[in-house]
Amino acid sequence: MLREHMNARAEQQQPDPKATQAAPDPLLGIASDHDDAGIPIHRGWAPVGSHHRWMEPFVMVLLSVGPAHGYAIVGELADLGITNGSVDVGQVYRTLRDLEQAGQVRSAWSTTGSGPARRDYELTAAGYAALDEWAAVIKERARLIGEFDARYLESLSTRRST
């Protein structure tokens, strides 16, 4: 459903990739540092904002492929299986509102298609920059999880073989 919506929207407007790139903003407070080229880097499992921010990168990566409305985002999050139950619709809309207030997402009412008007959300240049930061954080956490898993599996073979 989201992909169909995004493909239809993408045909209507193709953003210039260069226009959506923004300079790294150290005030974003997502990645712990930037390399000399300004690429976000992150080291360790340092906390990133409040607990509810874990949904931000998922919402942002879904919007990175094109604009979408809230319930389409909820559907994609459910398909990803990011919760062990149903996706908290309120949390998704709070996240969208927070991202919009931070200037990382913009929204507009859409009356295309059947049914009532709905709000479409899309990433801004600042949103793409924040997504780059989140990618650095998640990449580092994936590395740490891989390290943990390798050591855990090693401990199982060592500890349990005696």
pLDDT single digits (tens) 40-71: 777 666 555 555 578 899 999 999 999 999 99
- Closest alpha carbon to 134 in 78, 79, 67, 57: 57
Q: What sign for the dihedral angle of Cα 84, 86, 91, 93?
A: positive
Host H or E run for residue 158: helix 125-160
pLDDT of 154 above 50: yes
Contact status, residue 138 vs residue 60, Cβ threshold 8 Å: no
pLDDT of 149 above 60: yes
Give the chain's mean pLDDT. 80
What local confidence, expressed as pLDDT, does residue 13 receive? 44
What local confidence, expressed as pLDDT, does residue 96 receive? 96
Select the more confidently predicted residue: 20 or 152: 152
Q: Once rounded to an integer, what is the mean pLDDT over residues 106-131?
A: 91
Can you tell me which residue has the tokens 């930037």?
34
- Closest alpha carbon to 42 in 135, 109, 125, 126: 135
* Spatial separation of the C-alpha atoms in residues 24 and 36, rounded to whole Å: 11
At residue 10 the predicted structure's pLDDT band, cuts being 50, 70 and 90, is very low
From the candidate CATH numbers 1.10.10.10, 3.40.50.620, 2.20.130.10, 3.30.700.30, the one assigned to the domain spanning 2-13+44-160: 1.10.10.10
